[in-house]
């Protein structure tokens, strides 16, 4: 009888613990990303700062380096709210953004840039506000040689959102 009582007690406690909702993710006014961008079969560094106007809308700016030169772009981002998925549940969100700006380099790689993209943020350590940021962008340089425009993959560390 004692074993049955302990078993029932443990099952009730386990079901109550499993039913606890995951803590919500707080989206701060400012987020920072530091990472690597891969484009044209070469890599460069980037840093981005996002200002969150709401939980789902933000203004983003980015400075990046590559063999083509240095770029500075800014624009808007729209994202889903953070949600939990997987076993164990990990918070994440998807986003889409469009940025425009300038790139400085040699004469063939300098000019205006339009950069639409999409990606995701996954919070690896939600209590510390540390996550993984990845995105896929298309960098279009109007008036530049066709080989200067193309797809870019970004992966980096996100600092900001926390539980």
pLDDT tens, residue order, the chain (163 aa): 565 554 444 444 444 444 446 778 999 999 999 999 998 888 999 999 999 999 999 999 999 998 888 999 999 999 999 989 888 889 999 999 999 999 998 767 788 999 999 999 999 999 999 999 999 999 998 887 777 788 999 999 999 999 8
Choose among 55, 93, 57: nearest CA to 75: 57
Q: 145: Cβ–Cβ under 8 A, 6 or more apart, which residues?
A: 108
Query: Which range marks the domain in which residue 10 is found?
Result: 2-159
The CATH number linked to 63 is 2.40.160.20
Other C-beta atoms lying within 10 Å of the C-beta of residue 57: 11
pTM: 0.82
Q: How many domains does the chain have?
A: 1
Asked if 75 and 98 count as a contact pair (C-beta separation under 8 A), the reply is yes
């Amino acid at each position: 009888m004692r074993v049955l009582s302990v078993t029932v007690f443990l099952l009730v406690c386990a079901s109550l613990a499993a039913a606890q909702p995951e803590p919500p993710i707080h989206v701060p006014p400012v987020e920072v990303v530091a990472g690597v961008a891969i484009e044209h079969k070469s890599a460069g560094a980037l840093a981005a700062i996002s200002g969150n106007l709401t939980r789902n809308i933000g203004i983003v700016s980015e400075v990046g380096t590559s063999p083509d030169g240095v770029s500075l772009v800014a624009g808007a981002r729209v994202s889903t709210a953070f949600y939990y998925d997987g076993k164990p549940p990990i918070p994440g969100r998807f986003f889409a953004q469009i940025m425009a700006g300038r790139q400085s380099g040699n004469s063939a790689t300098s000019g205006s840039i339009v950069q639409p993209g999409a990606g995701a943020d996954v919070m690896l350590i939600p209590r510390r506000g540390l996550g993984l940021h990845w995105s896929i962008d298309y960098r279009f340089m109007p008036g530049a040689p066709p080989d200067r425009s193309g797809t870019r993959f970004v992966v980096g560390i996100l600092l900001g959102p926390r539980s």
